[in-house]
Chains A and B, each alone.
Chain A
């Protein structure tokens, strides 16, 4: 375990200066942010550097913060270094009006489907993705369901006539 969170932080700051910020350690997991314009550069550096070697993408997802004006959508990467067995979390924020983020498919094949899923639920437009279409929802859907403006259906509503699901309708 030669690689530590501090070492990663030092290397990142050395390379990108003040462009990478917001370093914190959440339960031993190093977390940091960068502007969305350089997300690929940061990922490429993490991937290529001989010591860092973050070549395994564990997860990619998004989160929606409606109150965070101008930075409503967060794209979260969870990366893993299999050699030194260390992980980190990397975030970029984007506005909801222009949710363009560069795709990571050239670095990680896993990003292909994960980015499609993120697009499906949050509408993040991954620029350069080879096949950016919905993956879990129907293709005809015209909204992004995991955004916060879409609340879940009220479980107690009575006006809906779907007897097959045991709600509403006339039960004889």
Chain B
């Protein structure tokens, strides 16, 4: 069913035409929107007056579905939300159930979880880097990025059998133990990626055309980033300190040495820089952990049927895109009474109009690329 309101009433109407404005639709099927996002753009010449995103083309009502799934089952739906951070989404759900049931998970599981989280973040940032470069017309970086991302995907495939929708982290730990090759392969990847990450800077970051497209466009001030509820690299590119790993360390993040990357540039290039630096920090985290994975159980003993006590739980983690939160209202049963996922992309996208206003239409795709949108995460 198409949305009559979207398509028919938003075609150029008389009052806008009289003012000399033009209204154009981008998407929902458009390669630069990275999914089914529909933008209604009002233009004056080439200058953007207003951008109105229309969402919901792949809304699956995951929150309603979760109300009839048990605490073991609902985790799997979150892999289908932000499919580039599926490990981290699963992690957040597992954490919230563990918090409610007061389960202490074994150290080995904690280490495995953090390593996989950071690998996921790396893979996600790599894909973002390649896709964003492609958005603004550079094809080669996409192949560079996928060369390294393939190695991570191979590691994931060997560890949990999936390359995208992982479903590996379960309440109490992880689903199965690591593959014997895991450490060797991760080390190989780190060595390989370290030798290649400078290529990323050489081919794209230092490129003057690229910098001209990114610097000084898509500006959002620190105050506005806070007001719009931006999180993740989008907010940290505007100087907001909001890394959940630092603010509310979960698992063993308080024992790991890493920096929260903050850039005060406030433009698309600042957000780009934040992600590039974050990749290096993720490498640093993995390096600290990979040789020290403790022996022991990978899963705590849990009951077959999980029942959360009556109450409300809110857990948050840092995904590749920002703060992902799970809000569970439990009435004491085996299924959640109400579940709400706070997706980082939703708030970040709501700031798009603010960022894009006054820029040229050609910069819009570059701005969208710098927010790193994943539409299933926004539509849920």
Contact = CB atoms under 8 A, between A and B. Distances in A.
Interface of A: 26-27, 29, 31, 55-59, 61, 63-64, 76, 78, 82, 85, 89, 108-110, 112-114, 117, 121, 134-140, 145-146, 152
Interface residues of B, number: 45
14 contacts: A55-B226, A56-B229, A59-B325, A59-B327, A78-B325, A89-B312, A89-B314, A110-B350, A113-B347, A135-B56, A138-B3, A139-B4, A140-B4, A146-B61
A110 B231 CA distance: 11
Contacts of B342: 58-59, 78
Contact of B56 (A55, A114, A137): A137
A109 B325 CA distance: 19
Interface centre among A55, A64, A82, A89 (most CB of B within 10 A): A82
Contacts of A85: 247-248
Contact of A112 (B61, B99, B340, B350): B350
Interface of B: 1, 3-6, 55-56, 59, 61, 63-65, 67-68, 99, 224, 226-229, 240-242, 247-248, 311-314, 316, 323, 325, 327, 329, 337-338, 340, 342, 346-347, 350-351, 354, 379-380
Interface centre among B1, B59, B227 (most CB of A within 10 A): B227
Nearest to B5: A139
What is the predominant secondary structure among interface residues of chain B facing chain A?
mixed
A74 B350 CA distance: 24
Contacts of A55: 226-227
Contact of A82 (B3, B241, B346): B241
B266 to A, nearest CB: 16
Contacts of A117: 346
Contacts of A59: 325, 327, 340, 342
Contacts of B56: 134-138
A58 B323 contact: yes
A31 B312 CA distance: 10
Given A109-B227, A110-B228, A146-B64, A61 B340 contact: yes
B78 to A, nearest CB: 16
Contacts of B67: 152
A56 B226 CA distance: 6
B4 A110 contact: no
B327 A110 contact: no
Given A76-B327, A109-B228, A121-B63, 13 more contacts: A58-B229, A58-B323, A78-B314, A82-B241, A82-B242, A109-B351, A110-B227, A110-B229, A110-B350, A135-B56, A139-B5, A139-B6, A145-B64
